[in-house]
Amino acid sequence: MYNCELLRFMNITDKQGNLTPVEGNRDIPIEIKRIYYITNVENGAIRGYHAHRKLHQVLICLKGSVNIKTLNPKEEHIYKLDNSYTGLYIGPYIWREMFDFSDDAVLLVLASDYYDESDYIRDIDNYMKEAKHRF
Amino acid sequence: MYNCELLRFMNITDKQGNLTPVEGNRDIPIEIKRIYYITNVENGAIRGYHAHRKLHQVLICLKGSVNIKTLNPKEEHIYKLDNSYTGLYIGPYIWREMFDFSDDAVLLVLASDYYDESDYIRDIDNYMKEAKHRF
């Protein structure tokens, strides 16, 4: 199991605009304890560079586009998120990097738990050591 | 008590962009059971036109700007949401209308419960009758 998966949400479109609902534990496999969102990312900036030991997340690009590289010790994938009705589920022990943010990109992240610094692995060598027996 | 309140969130800014975290039951007075987001709203469109009997919501404009009119039988307020670190809490029995969406507006709504059509009051006269003894 790679521990990453694209999810497709409802997109209710009419002349009043687009509306997408996402219900915790229903449309996504996690409860939404925390959200965060990223905007105004400079051209060329790369974010992420970490993995989580326990946290599950769903990334949704609400406007514009962004590329997400995910990897574990055995596989690497790049996902282009460029619409508001697709989410990228990322499970524990997946290293992620976000890059090629468009100027107008708005990236929303839904997280299964509150912020906990001890859940982060921020060094790729340490990540590889901890993760290599899990995949 | 008017049942609406502006909330200010953290805004972590660096050369990599802006990041705002919102934790359920901590940064906002509700658990996040459901989210939805609205994009690509046509010029002149007005959304909302309803109140909820039980649902609590927090509205955040992640990009662009939007005006939110809220009212109860005794008071009416207009809030201009034009940054990603301000949320508008709207409690039960508040009528709301969203208008003047900018072309690039992204409106995120955090909701305290799953979708339930029976929780909506969609007619302003019925709303006034049900709400008038509550304020």
Q: What is the pLDDT of residues B34-77, one digit of tens each?
A: 999 999 999 899 999 999 999 999 999 999 999 999 999 999 99
> Complex ipTM, two decimals?
0.95
Q: What is the pLDDT of residues A47-101, one digit of tens each?
A: 999 999 999 999 999 999 999 999 999 999 999 999 999 999 999 999 999 999 9
Q: Is the pLDDT of residue A129 over 90?
A: yes
Residue A108 pLDDT: 98
Q: Is the pLDDT of residue B1 over 80?
A: no
What pTM, to 2 d.p., does this model score? 0.97
> Who among B19, B32, B45 is closest to A16 (CB)?
B45
Percent of chain A with pLDDT over 70: 99
A77 is catalytic: no
> Who among B62, B110, B114 is closest to A106 (CB)?
B62
- Give the number of other CB atoms < 10 A from CB of residue B135: 13
Residue B77 pLDDT: 97
Cβ contacts from A onto B, under 8 A = 109
Domains in chain B, please, with CATH? Answer: 4-9+24-131 (2.60.120.10)
Average pLDDT value for chain B: 96
Closest alpha carbon within chain A to B100: A16
Closest alpha carbon within chain B to A83: B39
Between A12 and A15, the more confident residue is A12
Whether A62 sits inside 8 A of B106 (CB atoms) is yes
Whether B62 sits inside 8 A of A37 (CB atoms) is yes
Residue A73 pLDDT: 96
Residue A128 pLDDT: 97
Determine the Cα–Cα distance for residues B10 and B27; give it in Å rounded to an integer: 9
Whether B33 sits inside 8 A of A47 (CB atoms) is no
Residue A14 pLDDT: 87
Determine the Cα–Cα distance for residues B73 and B93; give it in Å rounded to an integer: 10
Average pLDDT value for chain A: 96
Which residues are within 8 A (CB) of B67 and not within 5 positions of it... i.e. 6 or more apart?
A: B78, B79, B80, B81, B98, B99, B100
Only one residue has tokens 């921020």, namely A122
Closest alpha carbon within chain A to B33: A24
Q: Is the pLDDT of residue A13 over 90?
A: yes
